[in-house]
Amino acid sequence: MQKIGLLTCSNFPDLIPSDQKMIPVLQEAGFDAQAVIWNDDKVDWSSFDALVFRNTWDYYELANDFILWMDEIERLGVPTFNPISTIRKNLHKFYLQDFQQNGITIIPSIFIPKGNLDTLVAEIPPSWDKLIIKPAISAGAYLTVLFDRKDIDHILDKYRPISQEKDLIIQPFIPQIQDEGEISLVFFDKVYAHAVIKRPKSGDFRIQSQFGGVYSSYLPSSTLLQTATEIVQTIPEDLLYARVDGLMIDDQFHLMELELIEPDLYFDHAVDSQKIFVDALIRRLH
């Protein structure tokens, strides 16, 4: 019986409820499936036949440890889904530069390598009245701040020590995220599965559910679906799952992130979506 680890973190040791439902389905299919915390030093990783990234939602706070752990999994030769080669590239949001250079429209961004904050702040266009600053390795609005341009000196004082340790990204605040919401399109096997739209609570800009964000099912236009599919197809590696996040601005999709590490796949917002995911996983395991 193949032993399958569904990777999570200490904040969600048993996985989130929608991902927990995969365990009995995999067990019924003949697999020894279990939740496992990625940085639990008591785990014998060589005992697993495959690992699936799911709720490793603290990796951005422990990035160096996470990278060292991936090195160990690679050394042991344990297959992972998505593959570690993909995870490495997707870990750091400077990957958005590659998309931009390949003609994909992204949210306007200034990419700031560590130690260069004061130098690159001069590149902020005058039209950016409200701005977002965040680390290049982040998730869940980690160290993400919305600020007015008039407060930039205060923000620089706060982020200067952070910028010595972390690469940063500065972007204009896009009001569409409050008015219209952020769109997430989910793919399995690089094939579109379903989509949701996420809106922040009144007065906030963060769409994450822990900050009061509200999610609902979404039907993308054929044009948006084609754009998202083209984005996913740029990844040469095999993908069990992918999530394309972005905003519609003047009827054009602007990519915010291509989530290939541990995205919430919103199983509760699409009938049979979990079955499609598990079936795709089982095909790989066989």
For tokens 């569904």, the residue is: 6
* Residue 125 confidence class, pLDDT cut points 50, 70, 90: very high
Q: Could you tell me the pTM of the whole model? A: 0.94
What are the residues whose beta carbons fall under 8 Å from the beta carbon of 32, sequence distance 6 or more? Answer: 1, 2, 3, 4
Q: Which of 65, 74, 87, 169 is nearest to 123 (CA)?
A: 169
Side chain identity, residue 73: I
Instruction: Please check the confidence at residue 105 and state whether its pLDDT lies above 90.
Output: yes
Q: How far apart are CA 222 and CA 265, in angstroms?
A: 21
Q: How far apart are CA 34 and CA 55, in angstroms?
A: 13
φ and ψ of 46, to 5 deg: -70, -15
Region 72-85: mean pLDDT is 98
Q: How far apart are CA 271 and CA 285, in angstroms?
A: 23
Q: How far apart are CA 265 and CA 249, in angstroms?
A: 24
Fold classified for 3-81 = Rossmann fold (3.40.50)
* Residue 139 confidence class, pLDDT cut points 50, 70, 90: confident
Q: What residue ranges do the domains of the chain occupy?
A: 3-81, 95-105+176-285, 110-172
Q: How far apart are CA 249 and CA 180, in angstroms?
A: 10
φ and ψ of 119, to 5 deg: -65, -45
Region 167-188: mean pLDDT is 91
Tokens of 207: 């769409």
Residue pLDDT, tens place only, 226-277: 999 999 999 999 999 999 999 999 999 999 999 999 999 999 999 899 999 9
* Residue 65 confidence class, pLDDT cut points 50, 70, 90: very high
Give the per-residue pLDDT at 206: 67
Q: Are 240 and 284 in contact (CB under 8 A)?
A: yes
> What HEC string does the chain produce?
CCEEEEEECCCCCCCCHHHHCHHHHHHHCCCEEEEEECCCCCCCHHHCCEEEEEECCCCCCCHHHHHHHHHHHHHHCCCEECCHHHHHHHCCCCHHHHHHHCCCCECCCEEECCCCHHHHHHHCCCCCCEEEEEECCCCCCCCCEEEEHHHHHHHHHHHHHHHCCCCEEEEECCCHHHHCCEEEEEEECCEEEEEEEEECCCCCCCCCHHHCCEEEECCCCHHHHHHHHHHHHCCCCCCCEEEEEEEEECCEEEEEEEECCCCCCCHHHCCCHHHHHHHHHHHHHC
Fold classified for 95-105+176-285 = D-amino Acid Aminotransferase; Chain A, domain 1 (3.30.470)
Fold classified for 110-172 = Dna Ligase; domain 1 (3.30.1490)
Strands 145-148 and 130-135: antiparallel
Tokens of 60: 């951005």
Residue pLDDT, tens place only, 213-222: 778 999 999 9
- The CA-CA-CA angle for residues 115, 66, 143, to 5°, reads 45
Q: How far apart are CA 23 and CA 138, in angstroms?
A: 28
